[in-house]
Amino acid sequence: RGRASDRVLRPARDDFRITRTEQGTTRLVGEIRDPAHLHGLLAHFASLNVELVAVQAVDDPEKGTTS
């Protein structure tokens, strides 16, 4: 929840499309390469006390949509 700063998003900047929503949240859409990649990102966010709202698989990471 909330608008994440550039410092918080630094590890995700190259791998994810980052958007800030009208609801005041920050959304990251992209491909998770493997479980270690996911756990590394989650550990980074946890170390900064970032509140994670959801992790969701999508069919098309470019569009961020599910079917």
- Which residue in this structure is represented by tokens 């961020």? 64
Query: Taking 90 as the threshold, does the pLDDT of residue 39 lie above it?
Result: yes
pLDDT band at 65, cuts 50/70/90?
low
Distances (CA, A) of 11 to 8, 31, 39, 59: 8, 13, 12, 23
pTM (two decimals):
0.68
| Residue position matching structure tokens 């959304």 | 27
Q: Which residue type occupies 2?
A: G
Average pLDDT over residues 13-39: 87
Backbone angles phi, psi at 6, to 5 degrees: -60, -35
DSSP character at residue 24: S
Contact 36, 42 (CB under 8 A): no
